[in-house]
């Protein structure tokens, strides 16, 4: 017992200071992309570089759908003019699908408007995570939030063992046809009202599996999400910030 206490004192306080202080992100972190109209040569290289059709040209503007994007930076690397760049903006979560479209201009994350959610879940959030055919990357980064370094429990966010105890269903994976029935049963088992988080590009749009005949291409046509968190996988900071903002605590 004394050895355990000594070790604990030696380790000190290990939980990060986010959200009280901005997160420390590595230089290689790829956050929200930005397009610069003034630098763009309209060569189309960024569009052709994206195998997921996440980059498009619309009415003379380059638009990046972060719900499809896996943040590989291929489009930015092909842009010799430097018109397309990935920033350190980690606040990627959105309450509507349209807000996942990135282009030019100043970006400001949206504020929560669901008063019913805030009434039920403004101070605590019980989450049941369902992996609908995911590769485990999103699942692992979500699990990280329960560790000492992140400790999402300090915000009243907890993972529950059954959807019957959940306020919210967090879905990962492109929704394989083999998991479709299990996903629907898990969602239907949750007490009402229940909210849905689409975690990662696969859950939002199908990600790299979108064209596979074995998947449903995300959950939007099956269950309407209340929160979209893009990424492949989303960084733990991105996911935690999105949940806290949904709770109006960020």
Q: Are 223 and 193 in contact (CB under 8 A)?
A: no
Tokens 């009402």 appear where? 192
Position 71 in a domain: no
Query: In the chain, how many domains are there?
Result: 1
Render 47-75 in DSSP notation, one character per residue: HHH-TTS-EEEETTEEEEETTT-----HH
Position 215 in a domain: yes
Distance, C-alpha 102 to centroid of its chain: 15
**Residue 27 pLDDT:** 92
Position 19 in a domain: no
* Ramachandran angles phi, psi of 152, nearest 5°: -65, -15
Position 38 in a domain: no
**Residue 4 pLDDT:** 74
**Residue 13 pLDDT:** 65
Q: Are 142 and 150 in contact (CB under 8 A)?
A: no
Position 55 in a domain: no
Query: What are 110's two structure tokens?
Result: 């949206």
- ∠ CA(168), CA(173), CA(204), 5° rounding? 75
The mean pLDDT values, 10 residues at a time, for the chain of 250 residues are 75 81 93 95 93 93 97 95 96 96 93 94 96 95 94 96 96 96 97 97 96 94 96 97 95
Its domain, for residue 226, covers 115-246
Reference 46, options 22, 15, 80; nearest CA is 80
Q: Strands 61-65 and 168-172: what pairing? A: unpaired
In what helix (H) or strand (E) does residue 84 lie, and over which residues does it extend? strand 84-86
**Residue 249 pLDDT:** 92
3-class DSSP assignment, residue 7: helix
3-class DSSP assignment, residue 197: strand
Position 48 in a domain: no
Question: What CATH number has the domain bearing residue 165?
Answer: 3.40.50.12280
Position 224 in a domain: yes
Position 83 in a domain: no
């Amino acid at each position: 017992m004394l050895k355990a206490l000594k070790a604990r004192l030696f380790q000190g306080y290990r939980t990060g200071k986010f959200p009280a202080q901005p997160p420390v992100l590595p230089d290689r972190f790829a956050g929200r992309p930005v397009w610069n109209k003034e630098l763009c040569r309209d060569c189309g290289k960024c569009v052709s570089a994206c195998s997921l059709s996440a980059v498009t040209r619309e009415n003379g503007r380059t638009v990046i759908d972060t719900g499809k994007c896996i943040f590989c930076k291929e489009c930015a690397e092909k842009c010799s003019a430097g018109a397309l760049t990935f920033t350190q903006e980690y606040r990627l979560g959105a309450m509507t699908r349209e807000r996942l479209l990135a282009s030019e201009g100043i970006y400001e994350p949206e504020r929560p408007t669901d008063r019913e959610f805030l009434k039920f879940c403004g101070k605590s959030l019980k989450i049941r995570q369902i992996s609908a055919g995911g590769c485990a990357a999103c699942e692992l980064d979500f699990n990280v939030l329960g560790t000492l370094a992140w400790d999402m429990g300090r915000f009243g966010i907890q993972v529950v063992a059954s959807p019957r105890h959940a306020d919210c269903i967090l879905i990962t994976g492109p929704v394989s046809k083999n998991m479709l029935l299990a996903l629907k049963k898990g969602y239907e088992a949750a007490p009402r009202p229940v909210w849905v988080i689409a975690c990662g590009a696969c859950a939002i749009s199908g990600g790299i599996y979108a064209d596979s005949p074995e998947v449903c291409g995300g959950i939007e046509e099956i269950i309407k999400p209340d929160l979209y968190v893009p990424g492949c996988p989303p960084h733990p900071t991105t996911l935690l910030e999105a949940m806290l903002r949904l709770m109006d605590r960020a």
